[in-house]
Structure 1
Amino acid sequence: MSFLMPLRVILFYLLLSASAGIWGVLMLIVAPFLSPHWRYTLIIGWWSRMAIWLTRHLVGIRYEVIGRENIPDQVGVILANHQSTWETFFLQQVFRPQTQLIKKELLYVPFFGWAFALAKPIAIDRSNGRDSLKQLAKVGGQRLAEGFWILVFPEGTRVLPGTPVKFSRGGTALACTNNVPVVPVAHNAGEFWPKIGWGKRPGTITVKIGPAMYPKGTDPRSIVELNKRAEQWVNDALGETTAR
């Protein structure tokens, strides 16, 4: 079956790209008439579910989730390590409704990017760190008040498996400012969907959801303390996943 994998990967990307274009056009027509929560459900929720289905059935990447019971009823900030594109699809299915911190260039992708903009993501210019933090604080607070989870990849970019996690503080600052919990998430998706290249490897991704961590204040010391707790939990969970 291994000799068929390159063909399966090509088919996967063809179907994923085609579906993004078709779905984007449909949502540009329908989404402007819907509430923000329904926009999320149609534009991001349903399409990401299809992407995960294609990933499983065409390239054999499955998953197991440990710790769903740790997800609180109150929305908050999800701090996840970033190894591949897979987790950007999958975590949409676990924390709903949700919006993401993304680079603004994604909104320029024809059709799907334009439709994505209607789902109200937090789009930032990564070349301007100070303005990015201000944008996250302002828009992130609005989205939390609207009942959306905020997904943040505090590493800022995809990192190879086995690399120690180092979190920036933007996500925990957002949580502390708005007095909402942080939920740490660790996974090993990069072992099956590599950061570099188009190849894929069949297998089972392990996703671990940690206990909700609540702010102890809004001052800089509280932000640093919460960030260290989340970072340490993810590093420990990744070590356990690798050991398996």
Structure 2
Amino acid sequence: MMFARVVLFYLLLSASAGIWGLLMLVIAPFLPYPWRYYLIVNRWCRFAVWLTRHIVGIRYEVTGRENIPNQPGVVLANHQSTWETFFLQQVFSPQTTLIKKELLYVPFFGWAFALARPIAIDRSNARDSLKQLSKAGGERLAEGIWILVFPEGTRVLPGQPAKFSRGGAALACANMAPVVPVAHNAGEFWPKAGWGKRPGKVTVMIGPAIYPKGPDPRSIVEVNRQAENWVNQALESLGTPSTQP
């Protein structure tokens, strides 16, 4: 029964991405950015989360919304699955996401997604990627747009410690923007590998904002350390303890 639900879920998700992407390619180029983001990304991601809940039974709860500052900043979240890439779009909005550029090559939806101005990087060139994140990220923050970064760089299995690279912290410090750490256990229900899904409730925890003291290397290290430590402590409280000694 669950296998059939998962197959149905992916059929509906893929069909909706193609149809929605094609429709947005026709409509979105004529809209201002806020409407483009809202229609291309926010609305479709809400639909994806709705499908996840009602077809495969993955529910969610969020704690710590009161910690979200009024000004946009950099969200540093652990990365376990695809679910959080959908869900966090509706918590921090408008938002741009640091993604691998290959995603923009996906027919229809990837092409439409490019109109929402994500920060698409080439992971094989770390130096150029950092420069691109710094330049484009600074521009987006100045425009009042949140930036979502998964500082682990790839999806990590539940139970493994979060190890953050410093790119997101460096971006926040360079622009004196707040960092908001986010922890979740989505990987327990939407695994990193394979198509399998397990019904259950994802808990998303939003931590207190971290405000940089300056753009210097010491401040970057400190902000990154605080965010990483908070996420690991939150994961332990969620029952996905770190395997660190």
Please tell me the TM-score bracket, short chain as reference.
Answer: over 0.9
Q: TM-score w.r.t. structure 1 length?
A: 0.98
> Cα gap change, 1:201/1:213 in structure 2, threshold over 3 Å: closer, same or farther?
same
After superposition, the C-alpha distances for 1:109-137 in whole angstroms (9 at most, x for unaligned) are: 00000000000000000000000000000
Deviation at 1:61, TM superposition (A): 0.1
Instruction: Determine the structure 2 residue equivalent to 1:47.
Output: 44
Q: Secondary structure at the match of 2:224?
A: helix
State the alpha-carbon separation in 2 of the partners of residues 34 and 224 from structure 1. Answer: 40
Deviation at 1:213, TM superposition (A): 0.3
User: What residue identity is the alignment partner of 1:33?
Assistant: F
| Moved >3 Å (runs of 4+) | none
Instruction: Determine the structure 2 residue equivalent to 1:32.
Output: 29
- 1:128-139 matches, within 5 Å, as 128-139=125-136
Q: 1:17 aligns with which of 8, 14, 17?
A: 14
User: What residue identity is the alignment partner of 1:114?
Assistant: W
Q: 1:94 aligns with which of 91, 95, 102?
A: 91
Matched, 1:74 2:62: no
C-alpha contact (below 8 Å) 2:58/2:198 kept by paired residues: yes
Instruction: Determine the structure 1 residue equivalent to 2:204.
Output: 207
Q: Secondary structure at the match of 2:156?
A: coil
After superposition, the C-alpha distances for 1:28-80 in whole angstroms (9 at most, x for unaligned) are: 01111111111100000000000000000000000000100000100000000
State the alpha-carbon separation in 1 of the partners of residues 210 and 31 from structure 2. Answer: 33
Note the residue ranges of structure 2 that are not aligned, 5 or more in a row.
Answer: none
Instruction: Determine the structure 2 residue equivalent to 1:196.
Output: 193
- Percent identity over the alignment is 78
Q: Secondary structure at the match of 2:62?
A: strand
- 1:1-244 matches, within 5 Å, as 4-242=1-239
Q: Secondary structure at the match of 1:127?
A: coil
Deviation at 1:147, TM superposition (A): 1.0
User: What residue identity is the alignment partner of 1:44?
Assistant: V
- How many aligned positions are there? 241
User: What residue identity is the alignment partner of 2:206?
Assistant: I
State the alpha-carbon separation in 2 of the partners of residues 92 and 172 from structure 1. Answer: 20
Note the residue ranges of structure 1 that are not aligned, 5 or more in a row.
Answer: none
Q: Secondary structure at the match of 1:73?
A: coil
User: What residue identity is the alignment partner of 1:154?
Assistant: P
User: What residue identity is the alignment partner of 1:160?
Assistant: L
C-alpha contact (below 8 Å) 2:158/2:240 kept by paired residues: no
Q: Secondary structure at the match of 1:72?
A: coil
User: What residue identity is the alignment partner of 2:3?
Assistant: P
User: What residue identity is the alignment partner of 2:128?
Assistant: D
State the alpha-carbon separation in 1 of the partners of residues 176 and 18 from structure 2. Answer: 38
Deviation at 1:243, TM superposition (A): 6.5
Report the RMSD for the aligned CA atoms in angstroms: 0.9
